[in-house]
């Protein structure tokens, strides 16, 4: 039996269990039949559903498809209008030229120039560019494009600060550490976002220094977790009523810490590693120092697990794994003393903890959602 004799469903089943890296990098070297199958939208749709099932990215994909359908219809409508206008202008120009020829033959050259000037809009390149734009939008929103692009995790740093400087600096530091697709957003004051804004991201780091819409943001982050997104929260979102996440986050047990108040301790350092082989602690040798390490005196929630603690035996790294996707709690303020003179020592491994935590919640949420 040849490859062509096998039912197409069999190929979907086989290829759906082949490594995505192999498909992306090597499928052009296999038979033409499989090559064309891998170019088929249904295959990439099934593979995307299998890989990103119940993930925020898949929800974002469906939203983009709805927008794409509307935009394509709008583009086609505008293109038809443009073509009709071009034809009308051409007809009007021809009529004007005929009238001018009848009235005064001496104006033929001017009329010919005017006609050529208007006919520039009929240039095939202009029309082709309009169709090419529609085709490009389709290709960039195809299931194949979605699957390949989504293989690179996207991250978001959300902070509540009077100015963006510390959030932006933290984002740049994480970028230098290896998170090449990372954005930032400041929710200070009455700024807000929707859960739909978050669907395009695989993992989010949230921390707060100033006031924000606590219930609204708490509800949105809870919805994001329910949609399969991984969350890392840090101080001061676990430090007292003024900066904490509220709404569903507080009421329905998304907080890995119990309520507490802010404590500042001189030269505080990391203490025991309760789970020393945990992925978040990989490569972490030391952490802390600084003039006034900000952390909460809170205890971990009843459903959370302690990964590491401060030397004063307060929790440092905590995991809550009872929700749709993992939530990591970091009991420190993320910017180092490079950006906040009183914060943790930048020569220690705080950035590595932040980096490992974000990678962990993304990798673990994908396992949960398979």
Query: What pLDDT does 365 receive?
Result: 64
Query: What pLDDT does 119 receive?
Result: 38
Q: Is the pLDDT of residue 128 over 50?
A: no
Return the closest-CA partner of residue 156 out of 207, 202, 209, 215.
202
Query: What pLDDT does 254 receive?
Result: 93
Q: What is the pLDDT of residues 212-224, one digit of tens each?
A: 788 888 999 999 9
Q: Is the pLDDT of residue 100 over 60?
A: no
Q: What does the alpha-carbon distance between residue 282 and residue 360 come to, in Å, rounded to a whole number?
A: 11
Distance, C-alpha 165 to centroid of its chain: 21
Q: Is the pLDDT of residue 283 over 80?
A: yes
Q: What is the pLDDT of residues 319-345, one digit of tens each?
A: 998 888 899 999 999 998 888 888 899
Banded model confidence at residue 89, pLDDT cuts 50, 70, 90: low
Q: Is the pLDDT of residue 108 over 50?
A: no
Return the closest-CA partner of residue 354 out of 337, 321, 331.
331
Q: What does the alpha-carbon distance between residue 230 and residue 361 come to, in Å, rounded to a whole number?
A: 5
Lowest mean pLDDT among 56-65, 91-100, 200-209, 335-344: 91-100
pTM, two decimals, is 0.69
Q: What is the pLDDT of residues 238-281, one digit of tens each?
A: 776 778 888 899 899 999 998 777 777 888 899 999 999 999 99
121 φ/ψ angles, rounded to the nearest 5 degrees = -70, -15
- Read off the pLDDT of each residue in 120-134 and give the average, rounded to a whole number: 43
265 φ/ψ angles, rounded to the nearest 5 degrees = -125, 130
């Amino acid at each position: 039996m040849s490859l062509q004799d096998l039912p197409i469903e069999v190929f979907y089943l086989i290829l759906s269990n082949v490594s995505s890296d192999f498909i992306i990098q090597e499928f052009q070297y296999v038979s033409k039949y499989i090559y064309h199958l891998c170019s088929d939208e249904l295959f990439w749709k099934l593979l995307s559903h299998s890989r990103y099932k119940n993930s925020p990215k898949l929800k974002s994909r469906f939203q983009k498809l709805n927008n794409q359908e509307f935009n394509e219809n709008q583009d086609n409508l505008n293109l038809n209008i443009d073509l009709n206008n071009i034809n009308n202008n051409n007809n009007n120009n021809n009529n004007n030229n005929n009238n001018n020829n009848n009235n005064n033959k001496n104006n033929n050259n001017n009329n010919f120039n005017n006609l050529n000037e208007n006919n520039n809009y009929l240039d095939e390149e202009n029309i082709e560019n309009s169709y090419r734009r529609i085709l490009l939008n389709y290709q960039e929103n195809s299931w194949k494009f979605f699957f390949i692009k989504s293989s690179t995790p996207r991250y978001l740093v959300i902070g509540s600060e009077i100015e963006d400087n510390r959030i932006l600096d933290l984002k740049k530091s994480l970028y230098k550490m290896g998170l090449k697709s990372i954005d930032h957003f400041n929710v200070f004051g009455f700024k807000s976002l929707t859960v739909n804004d978050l669907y395009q991201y695989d993992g989010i780091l949230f921390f707060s220094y100033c006031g924000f819409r606590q219930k609204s943001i708490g509800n949105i982050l809870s919805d994001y977790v329910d949609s399969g997104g991984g969350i890392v929260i840090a101080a001061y979102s676990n430090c007292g009523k003024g900066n904490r996440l509220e709404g569903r986050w507080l009421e329905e047990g998304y907080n890995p810490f119990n309520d507490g108040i802010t404590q500042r301790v001189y030269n505080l350092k990391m203490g025991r590693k309760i789970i020393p082989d945990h992925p978040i602690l990989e490569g972490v040798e030391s952490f802390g120092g600084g003039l006034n390490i900000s952390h909460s005196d809170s205890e971990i929630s009843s459903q959370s697990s302690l990964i590491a603690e401060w030397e004063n035996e307060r929790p440092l790294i905590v995991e809550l794994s009872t929700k749709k996707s993992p939530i990591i709690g970091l009991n420190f303020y993320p910017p180092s003393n490079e950006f906040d003179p009183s914060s943790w020592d930048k020569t220690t491994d705080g950035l590595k903890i932040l980096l490992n935590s974000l990678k962990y919640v993304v990798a673990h949420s994908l396992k949960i959602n398979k």
